[in-house]
Chains A and B, each alone.
Chain A
Amino acid sequence: MIKIQKIAKNFGDVQAVRDVSFTAEDGLITTLLGANGSGKSTTLRSVAGLLRPTSGTVTVDGIDVLGNPIAAQARLGVFPDQFGLYTRLTTREHIAYFAELQGMRGQARDHAVEEVTRLLHMEDILDRRTEGFSQGQRMKVALAGAIVHKPQNIVLDEPTRGLDVMSIRLLREILLALKAEGHCVLLSSHVMAEVEVLSDHVVMMAEGLICADGSPKGIVRDSGQPNLEEAFVALTNEAINTTKRSAA
């Protein structure tokens, strides 16, 4: 479980995130939904330990990320927004490297590599160097590295960006399978269809603030709009206007 309490993050005079609080429960897929620059990535980077919030706390399974980042990161599998690969390593070497840095050794590591390879249907590229891989193949290798140690909590920053339909369908199946196994899945997206199909819990963000928090159906119902996209536009505009009025 990932719990975010009143976090704020400033970059100089820019307030990227302000007073954000929500909880991503185990066995659910929680999606941060927002336009570009709304604060989704900053929030997820704070969860992953890449950024230190200006104020507030983030806990992963009760472990404070700021106070004990190594222990918190050991409970996480993170698929960052930019996932470069080591092009001179094979897929197998790549995944094994991440498994070893998660503390796995010997047969346990080899077994984990085989298992995640089967899960992501990547047997055909297992012993190929990653240079020249398609975006879909690169996504699979990066995701395999993030989940090879079967973390309880999985964080994905816009995982479907740049993927074709088949890769998106595969990713969706994997996330649903992880959810069914009781993992906590926290991701960010701005693709409405994907969010609607995949998410149990949506946290809508605009201007670094949360403007809605609930199930997709609940948010649509409470907003009085016909669908999630309309609800997103209405709630986002309302948040932007409120922020402008406060600033004035």
Chain B
Amino acid sequence: MNRAIGTIYRKEMKDMLRDKRALIAIVSYVFGFPLMFAFLFYLMSDDRAPDVKSTIAIDGMAQAPGLVAYLERAGFAITGTESEPVPTSLPEGADALVVLPDDYAARLRDGKQARVWVYVDETSRTAAERGMKASEALLAYNQQIATVRLVARGVPTGLMAPMQISTGDVSKASFINKVMGNMMMLLFTLAPFVVGLSVALDALAGERERQSLASLMVLPVSSATITIGKWAMVASFGLIGTMATMTVNLIALSLLPADLLPFTLKVTPPGMMLALLQLVTLCMFVASLQLVVSIHAKSFKEGQTYMSMMMMVPAIVGYAKIYGESKLPAFVNYLPIFSDMESLGSIFFSGVVDIQLTAAAMTAGLLGTALCLSLTIKRLSSEHMLAEA
């Protein structure tokens, strides 16, 4: 039996390595996502660079030396500008445009209210946030002038502002950091699904489509031997693709400047070993699951439809974990995919190995593999399947 499994494994591997579809699936997934993530991190890096000064363009700057000095102390870069009567865009490089009326200085001197226009661009979140900061700074300046006037008239400042509010962030990681970290783990978890899809379909649905299954089933090898040989090939393919995905992504992340990364990798050698073991069991499970789907399809095309539906499951599970983790009951962390993402996240980002979680992930994978393989073997040796072969 072992020799026949080896024969089937070698033949299937040789066959698949000559299949352009299978190779394209690996290459595109392995190299496509690091590029996409690098681009995302690049876009996000602008959000998180606190030392980059926002620029405020002021029309009528000469009338407001106090305002300019206040804003510069608050960390803004100030430029003078001549704006149109009704501005339709911000000056080049400016995050906000402040338009002061011609009588700004006179009204301020007389203790009257002066109307100040602030123009911002809310096309993107980054631009909107920077514009918002400029508006907040102007309000603070407004408050400061009011306070000075009241103090000059003998009114205590506590009457105008009874509370002085300060805020602080106590979260270990921001929401966006968590999302990006979980997305990385989902990327690793989905790798065997994507990479193994084509080869799993060809292994059984392909045999039925090209009408070669009968020739195989009349040979003196059992359904279990055939299934295990093909499963081992699909699992190997998935594992190669997953390892390549992980390696390329980790190398790509290590090459990025630290301030571009939304999270910090803290993986240790023992943690990496455990992560590899966990990914092996994940690939075994995914391959067995894909063969169950493949054997129920009469053609590659039909199988692709089923596989697309099946692919929605890990994607939904992954996104539920990313966006709804706090609303999910604790036991879901012991289900496949959930437990894999949780355990891998713990290994990669905390540098902590949660043995209970990792063991749960591996046990779920092994049990799922056994169940799926037995279903495939049963189906392959069924009267229905053999009658159609």
Contact = CB atoms under 8 A, between A and B. Distances in A.
A76 B218 contact: yes
A70 B221 contact: yes
Given A88-B15, A88-B19, A97-B11, A78 B218 contact: yes
Contact of B214 (A82, A85, A89): A82
Contacts of B7: 97, 100-101
Given A49-B218, A70-B220, A73-B219, A83 B19 contact: no
B297 to A, nearest CB: 16
Nearest to B216: A101
A48 B387 CA distance: 12
B244 interface: no
Contacts of B8: 101
A183 interface: no
Contact of A52 (B211, B212, B383): B383
Interface in B200-241: 207, 210-222
Given A80-B215, A83-B212, A51 B220 contact: no
A71 B220 contact: yes
Interface in B248-268: none
Contacts of A125: none
B155 interface: no
Contacts of B219: 73, 98, 101-102
Interface in A32-78: 45, 48-52, 70-71, 73-74, 76, 78
Contact of A145 (B11, B18, B207, B215): B215
Contacts of B44: none
A105 B8 CA distance: 14
Contacts of A74: 220
Interface string B1-38: 00110011001001100110000000000000000000
B389 interface: yes
A101 B4 contact: yes
Contacts of A146: 215
A192 B342 CA distance: 70
A85 B15 CA distance: 12
Nearest to B225: A101
B220 A102 contact: yes
A48 B386 CA distance: 11
Interface residues of A, number: 34
Nearest to A142: B215
A84 B211 contact: yes
A80 B15 CA distance: 22
A54 B384 CA distance: 14
Contacts of A73: 218-220
A191 B221 CA distance: 33
B215 A84 contact: yes
Contact of B220 (A84, A85, A89, A101): A101
A88 B217 CA distance: 20
A85 B210 contact: yes
Interface in A106-154: 142, 145-146
Give the interface centre of B217, B219, B220, B383 by most chain A CB atoms within 10 Å.
Answer: B219
Contacts of B220: 70-71, 73-74, 101-103
A50 B15 contact: no
Give the interface centre of A50, A81, A85 by most chain B CB atoms within 10 Å.
Answer: A50
Nearest to B214: A80
Contact of A51 (B212, B213, B387): B387
A89 B386 CA distance: 24
A182 to B, nearest CB: 21
A233 B113 CA distance: 113
A87 interface: yes
Given A84-B210, A102-B219, A93 B14 contact: yes
A84 B212 contact: yes
Contacts of B3: 100, 103, 105
A51 B215 contact: no
Nearest to A80: B214
A50 B218 contact: yes
Interface in B110-140: none
Interface string A19-38: 00000000000000000000
A83 B15 contact: no
A138 to B, nearest CB: 11
Interface string B325-365: 00000000000000000000000000000000000000000
A48 B218 contact: yes
Contacts of B217: 49-50
Contact of B386 (A51, A87, A93, A100): A51
Given A80-B389, A98-B219, A146-B215, 14 more contacts: A50-B218, A51-B386, A71-B220, A73-B218, A73-B220, A80-B218, A82-B214, A84-B211, A84-B215, A86-B210, A89-B11, A97-B7, A100-B7, A101-B220
16 contacts: A48-B218, A49-B217, A50-B217, A50-B218, A50-B389, A70-B222, A71-B220, A80-B218, A84-B210, A84-B212, A84-B213, A86-B15, A88-B14, A93-B11, A101-B220, A103-B220
Interface of A: 11, 45, 48-52, 70-71, 73-74, 76, 78, 80-89, 93, 97-98, 100-103, 105, 142, 145-146
Interface of B: 3-4, 7-8, 11, 14-15, 18-19, 207, 210-222, 383, 386-387, 389
Q: Which 4 A-B pairs have the closest CB atoms?
A: A84-B212, A84-B211, A84-B210, A78-B218
